[in-house]
Copies of this chain bind each other. A is one copy, B any other.
Amino acid sequence: MIEIAVQSHHRREMIEITSQINAALDAAGIEDGVCHIFVPHTTAAAVINENADPDVVHDLLNAWAKLLPPIHFAHAEGNSDAHFLSSVLGPSLLVPIVRGRLHLGTWQGVFFVELDGPRSRRVWLTPVAARPEI
């Protein structure tokens, strides 16, 4: 397992980590297979979405905020909104690796999603072997 560090600077924020993951795969000498990307936090998430137009990131953050229901949360820490969005977006991704890099669609990037920042966060990468028959 490879651990990478992510520092967030806002309460809610999308931080692209595609290059950071590629650099970690490169340092570990991983050439192909599938990369498991796991966020070990309950108030953060990982998503894949467009990394070309920053307006998409802006729109996603605004739209996710509108998913939050206007209810009273019991959890005393006051961050149940972050636990909720984390449950909807999910903590884990799996992406093919080809020639040592994440093999993504043309417009896709991998984003760490901070939902209760700013904080120092970690992401765990586990390369998995594809079947040799392929």
B-binding residues in A (CB < 8 A): 1-2, 28-30, 33-34, 36, 38-42, 47-50, 53, 55-56, 58-60, 62-64, 66-69, 71, 73-77, 80, 83-84, 86-96, 98, 103-108, 124, 126-134
Query: Taking A74-B58, A108-B42 as contacts, is the C-beta distance between A134 and B89 under 8 angstroms?
Result: no
- Number of chain copies forming the complex: 3
Of listed A64, A96, A104, residue having the most chain B CB within 10 A: A96
Residue from the list B2, B41, B53, B93 in contact with A134, Cβ < 8 A: B2
The reply to whether A108 and B40 contact each other, CB–CB distance below 8 Å, is yes
The reply to whether B127 and A128 contact each other, CB–CB distance below 8 Å, is no
Query: Taking A91-B48, A96-B36, A130-B128 as contacts, is the C-beta distance between A66 and B71 under 8 angstroms?
Result: yes
Query: Taking A63-B84, A71-B63 as contacts, is the C-beta distance between A126 and B34 under 8 angstroms?
Result: yes
